[in-house]
Every structure is written in structure tokens, then in C-alpha cells.
């Protein structure tokens, strides 16, 4: 990966030191604008053959993925406006250092800048999971998978945010994702998450 240690890319400090420019392309922008922003962003810069999906991996134990999509998060639904990015998702997988919600939040700040991070930080939490009932069901049924996904859905003044970390039965989290998306798609995703 061009001489850059991959483990560092997953850390907040290197994301900043790479000079990731604050967001100029976000959900609601055209595919042309988002493609240009991703190409100019040294953290996200796509390799040959990549355009809206960037994957960086040094080993099978560590992976960083960023995807800009025409689709809203959740179940596929036709978009009323073609050519407009509806969501952008950052996914981290790290068997060596683990993935926490804090690490995902710091990655959001590094990639998008302080304005978007502040919108996220001030955003209203609409739904957080697992619920206490789900955790009790997982214990009673001896099925830890019921409570393995921990996440929250937030409504900011500019965008909506979905943060999710998957834990193992031992309580360790090796993967997580952070999605920034249009507020128009919030009700749809909230209903899907509450009913899964």
C-alpha cells in the first residue's frame, strides 16, 4: 500500500496525517463530485479499477473499506433522483486491535472534518440497540448472536448517521461500520432496524 503501514491507516492519527481533506462531497452530491473528492482524498484515493468502493488491506486480519452508493442504507429501494449519492459507508475490520464505536467516530472526524463530526455529535439518537429485552432473550435462549450487534441511529441537522459494531460471543468487536446518509432515508432504515 505505497509504503504506508496498514495498521496505521486504521488509526485516527494516520488518517489525519495523510491529510484527508474535510468533506466536500457528501450524500446528496452528484456521482461526479463524489468521485472527484474521493480521488483527491489521500486516505480514500481509489486504486485502478475502483471508483466508489475503496478497499485497503495489508493482511487478512485488517481491512478498511469506504463505499459511496446511489442506494439508501438497508433494503434496496429505487432512488427518486438518479446520479445522486445517497449514502457513504466506512467499514473497519481489525482482528489485531479490535474496533470500537470511539474508533469509528474518530474515523468519521478524520475523513469528514469537524463540521460533520459536530453534526453527528449533536445529533439526536433515535434508536439504539440491542434493547434490554433483546439481551435478556439472548441469555434465555443461549443465543449470543441476538445481542451481538450494537449500534445507534442518529438524526443530525444536516445528515443521518448509523453506527454499528459486531461483537463476538466473547464480547470482542473486530468489525464495525459507520454510514452517513440522507435524512430522507431515516424513517425507512429505522423501521427496518426495529423489525429485524
CB 159 within 8 Å of CB 26? yes
Report which of 101, 113, 100, 127 is spatially closest to residue 158, judged by C-alpha positions.
113
CB 112 within 8 Å of CB 20? no
**What pLDDT does 24 receive?**
60
pLDDT digits (tens, 9 = 90+) for 104-160: 999 999 898 899 999 999 999 999 999 888 888 888 888 877 788 999 999 999 999
Residue ranges making up the domain that contains 95: 6-194
Asked if the structure places residue 120 within a domain, the reply is yes
CB atoms inside a 10 Å sphere around CB 133: 8
Per run of 10 residues, the mean pLDDT along the chain (length 196 residues) is 40 40 74 92 84 90 94 84 91 94 92 93 96 86 83 97 90 94 96 90
Distance from C-alpha of 103 to C-alpha of 12, rounded to nearest angstrom: 7
Asked if the structure places residue 136 within a domain, the reply is yes
Helix/strand/coil for 189: helix
CB 62 within 8 Å of CB 7? yes
Distance from C-alpha of 152 to C-alpha of 163, rounded to nearest angstrom: 5
Asked if the structure places residue 49 within a domain, the reply is yes
CB 125 within 8 Å of CB 152? yes
Strand segments, DSSP code E, in the chain are 53-59, 62-69, 87-94, 124-129, 149-155, 160-167, 173-181
Asked if the structure places residue 62 within a domain, the reply is yes
Q: How many domains does the chain have?
A: 1
Asked if the structure places residue 26 within a domain, the reply is yes
Asked if the structure places residue 1 within a domain, the reply is no
The pTM assigned to this predicted structure is: 0.83
Amino acid at each position: 500500500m505505497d509504503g504506508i503501514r496498514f495498521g496505521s491507516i486504521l488509526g485516527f492519527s494516520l488518517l489525519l496525517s495523510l491529510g484527508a481533506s474535510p468533506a466536500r462531497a457528501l450524500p446528496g452530491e452528484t456521482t461526479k463530485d463524489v468521485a472527484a473528492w474521493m480521488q483527491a482524498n489521500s486516505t480514500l484515493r481509489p486504486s485502478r479499477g475502483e471508483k466508489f468502493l475503496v478497499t485497503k488491506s495489508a493482511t487478512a486480519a485488517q481491512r478498511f473499506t469506504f463505499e459511496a452508493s446511489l442506494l439508501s442504507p438497508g433494503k434496496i429501494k429505487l432512488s427518486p433522483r438518479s446520479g445522486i449519492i445517497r449514502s457513504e459507508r466506512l467499514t473497519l475490520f481489525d482482528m489485531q486491535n479490535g474496533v470500537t464505536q470511539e474508533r469509528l467516530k474518530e474515523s468519521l472526524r478524520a475523513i469528514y472534518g469537524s463540521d460533520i463530526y459536530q453534526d453527528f455529535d449533536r445529533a439526536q439518537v433515535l434508536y439504539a440497540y440491542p434493547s434490554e429485552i433483546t439481551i435478556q432473550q439472548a441469555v434465555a435462549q443461549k443465543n449470543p448472536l441476538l445481542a451481538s450487534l450494537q449500534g445507534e441511529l442518529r438524526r443530525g441537522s444536516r445528515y443521518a448517521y448509523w453506527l454499528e459494531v459486531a461483537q463476538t460471543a466473547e464480547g470482542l468487536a473486530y468489525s464495525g461500520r459507520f454510514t452517513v446518509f440522507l435524512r430522507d432515508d431515516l424513517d425507512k432504515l429505522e423501521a427496518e432496524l426495529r423489525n429485524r
